[in-house]
Amino acid sequence: MKMDISRRLLDEILALAAVQPGREVCGLLFGEPQRILAFAPAANVAETPERTFEIDPKALFAALRAERQGGARLIGHYHSHPSGDTAPSACDAAMAEPGRLWLIVSGREARLWQASADGPLHGRFAPITLETCDP
């Protein structure tokens, strides 16, 4: 499977992570089956944001309500790893909802994963080819 994202959107997500390099930043991804079209930053409400993330439930519920009312389709989320690793952690695997995309960024790197019930990484994630394109 392959997903497209505009270079501009990816650069904006990377820039948000760079502003807080010692914390995991996070947000929501919107799009269609093979393209990420937009994102929305969300507060990381985790108790230890330097090591983990939890998307603000208010932002998540608002996005789900908007989707039900014909708004943008929520396809997953992004978060950063201050450690420099763009692979999902075991903690990420414990939170993964099958079918959702996980864009993990660190520094200038980004990798995309899809959560599944039996993925090859942590039994929960499969890598997805992420291709940048013009808007």
Full set of structural domains in the chain with CATH: 2-133 (3.40.140.10)
Which distant-in-sequence residues (6+ apart) come within 8 Å of 8 by Cβ? 135
Q: Is 65 strand, coil or helix?
A: helix
Tens digit of each residue's pLDDT (9 = 90 or more) over 79-111:
999 988 999 999 999 989 899 999 999 999 999
- pTM for this structure? 0.94
